[in-house]
Amino acid sequence: MLMINSKFLEPACLSVMKNVEKEILLFITFEGIDGCGKSTQVERFEARLKKAGIPPLITREPGGTETGDAIRKILLHLDGESVTPLTQLFLYEADRAQHVTEVIRPALDLGKWVVCDRFYDATTVYQGIVQGQGEDVAERLNYLSTSGLNPDITFLLDCPAEMAMERIKIRDGTTKKRDMFDKKDIEFHRKIRHAYLSIAGKHKDRFKIIDASLSVDEIEEQIGGKISPYLIENDSMS
C-alpha cells in the first residue's frame, strides 16, 4: 500500500497528490459558534464513517491529551475575567502543540481519518479577531503550534447567535455546565459568527458552510452529502 504523507503540503499540491494516493486520508474539523451543534454532528459523523468502514479518531480542542485536559480546565472552568485574551491565546496554542504532536499527527501517520471538534480556526476567530489579539498574530501562532498542519475539510456550522444560545439554555437546563463563553452577551456571539464567515470566505478551498439552523437529521444529511464523494473513492479503492 502506498501511503503518501500529504498533510504538510500546500492545497494545490495536495489535490494533485490525492489523485496518486492509493488511500484517501482526511483531517476534518468542525467549527462554529458555541451551541451551534458541533459535538452533536461530530457524533453523527463518527457513526457515519464507522458504517462506511472508516473508524476515525475523534478528538477535540481544547483537550485530547492529559496536558490539554489540564489546560481545558483553566480555560473553560474558571471565571472568564481571570484569563486575559492574550493568556487564552497562548493556552490554546500550548494545548494545540501538545495535541498535534501527541494525538493528531500520529493518527494521520497511521493512516487514520481524524475528526476534531474545533481546531485553529477557533483561535483565529475568538482570540485573534473578536478578542483583539490580531488575526495575523493568531495565524502565525497557529502555524507554529501545528508545524504547518492544516485540515483538509472544515465544516462551519452556521446559525444565528440567538438560536445557538437557545440551544445552550436547553442543553444546560439538563446536564452540561455553562462555560465562560456561554455567559457572554449575544453581541459577542454575533461577532464570532461574523468572524467565522469572514475566514471561511478567505479559505474557500477548505471550508464547507453548513446551515445549522436545520434539524439534527437535516444537518447530518448536508454533511454526509459533502463527504460522500470521499467515501465512494475510498470504497472503490478497497
Ligand X SMILES: Nc1ncnc2c1ncn2[C@@H]1O[C@H](COP(=O)(O)OP(=O)(O)OP(=O)(O)O)[C@@H](O)[C@H]1O
Query: What residue ranges bind Mg ion (CB under 5 A)?
Result: 38-39
What residues contact 53, with CB distance under 8 A and at least 6 apart? 234, 235, 238
Nearer to ligand X, 34 or 93 (CB): 34
Nearer to Mg ion, 35 or 128 (CB): 35
d(CA 130, CA 119): 16
Nearer to Mg ion, 39 or 67 (CB): 39
CA-only gyration radius of the chain, Å: 17
Residue 31 C-beta: closest distance to ligand X, Å: 9
Q: Phi, psi (5° rounding) for residue 208?
A: -120, 115
63 binds, among Mg ion, ligand X, none (CB under 5 to 8 A by kind): none
Nearer to ligand X, 215 or 238 (CB): 215
**Cβ–Cβ under 8 Å, residues 162 and 33:** no
Q: Phi, psi (5° rounding) for residue 115?
A: -120, 120
Residue 172 C-beta: closest distance to Mg ion, Å: 12
Contact footprint for ligand X (CB under 6 A): 32, 34-40, 167, 170-171, 215-216, 219
Residue 25 C-beta: closest distance to ligand X, Å: 25
d(CA 171, CA 69): 22
Residue 80 C-beta: closest distance to ligand X, Å: 14
